[in-house]
Amino acid sequence: MTLTIALCFVAALFDGLDIVAPGLVAPQLVADFHLDPQLVGRLFSSSTVGLLLGALYGGWSADRVGRKRVLIASMIVFGLMSLVTAFATTTPLLFVGRFLTGLGLGSALPNLIALSAEAGPPHMRTTLVTLMYSGVPLGGALGGAITLWLGAADNWRILFYVGGVGPVILAACLAYFLPESKLYQQAKSDRAGAVSAHSGIRSNWSSALFGGGVARTTLLLWVVFFCTLLILYLLVNWLPLLFVNAGYSRREAAVATIVFNIGGGLGAMLLGSLMDRMRRHVVMFVSFVGMAAALIALLVAFRSSGVALSVAATAAFAVGVFVIGTQLALYGISPNYYPTAVRGTGVGAAVAAGRVGSIVGPLVAGTLLGAGGNAASVLTALLPVVAVAGMAAVLLLNRPVPRET
């Protein structure tokens, strides 16, 4: 169990590094490729289109050929395409590199979730998944550190060199050290499990996602993931530029990004643990209330002129705790709603629905800023989305989970 979580944590670390990389170096990309705000938004969304398609295929493939094989292939594609981004000299090649990087990364995510969820007993699933996926915000913090102290602030390609070579090396480690999920192997070898997996994968997706009384659960998962990932990816991609828009320097924006991601890592571990120990309805309700309050605090800091970086960064830390922490807790509970034979398909579809939100989020910010809006107006637009996500999450937690887990 420990080895699986540790290896998946490192994979999630590179995931987080790649997610924040374009936002951290956006001013350099704007200068080198002559991008306007709308094109920046499209660049941010190009990788998330790949993430959406990758999540659908990666989840489906995981139930068919195994979690480990798909994860290894995903990390190789992810790493190589990050290197394509690093060597890009034209805008089309930059966009292609980001799209294909997202394809590999998106395929990896359902497998990271499934492997972590199936590595331990059912009552620890949320804790294990959130512990593993806390690597994402910490990877974001690593990206900020590379920008500040290892030269990426002056040479944007450094971030993508690290994000390219690392996953390829990790893929070799996964091939040698990572064990396949025992639950997957059991379902594959067990006659009843094999029949279930065959029908869940080879017929049509509706049987896995909408059959057996899970239709409402699936739809609620999709709504929650769409809304929360819209918020998360808007902030992950645009937070550095929002800080610059609010009057802070690029280095101060990088510091705020590090603090935001550290808060997310701590929030993920805290909320994931609480979800397995306390009433989930209460934890989730408090999480979304905290998310709204943190966004309002950051909004006020942006609207007020001359607010010290320490104050704005504290608000960014709180936003990270609740936005990133809540999303990762949702990743932790989602595997519980699908049996082993179709877990990859179910989680992959939910992640893909969320990726639609992650495509929309950066585009919304780019549109608002391109139309003359400011950092505060972007945050204001997120508050209704928080309300919808919170209501859907509470309804989701009232749904039953299958006995076969």
In this prediction, residue 267 carries a pLDDT of 84
Confirm whether 354 is domain-assigned. yes
- Predicted local confidence at residue 75, as pLDDT: 93
Whether 402 maps to a domain, the answer reads no
Q: Is residue 404 part of a domain?
A: no
Q: Where are the beta strands (DSSP E) in 139-278?
A: none
Nearest to 71 by CA among 179, 148, 231: 179
Range of the domain at 218: 2-396
Angle of helix 91-117 versus helix 67-86 axis, rounded to 10: 160
**Radius of gyration of the chain, Cα coordinates, nearest whole angstrom:** 20
pLDDT of residue 200: 41
- Judged by average pLDDT, the poorest of 70-79, 195-204, 215-224, 296-305 is 195-204
Read off the pTM: 0.72
Residue 374 placed within a domain: yes
Distance CA 236, CA 12 (A): 15
Burial (CB count <10 Å: 0-12, 13-18, 19+), residue 135: buried
Q: Which residue has the higher pLDDT, 204 or 71?
A: 71
Within-domain flag for 363? yes
- Domains contained in the chain, number: 1
Answer yes or no: is 236 within a domain: yes
Q: Say if 405 falls within a structural domain.
A: no
Share of the chain above pLDDT 70, in %: 89
| Close Cβ partners of 210 (under 8 Å, ≥ 6 residues apart) | 218
403 found inside a domain: no
CATH number at residue 219: 1.20.1250.20
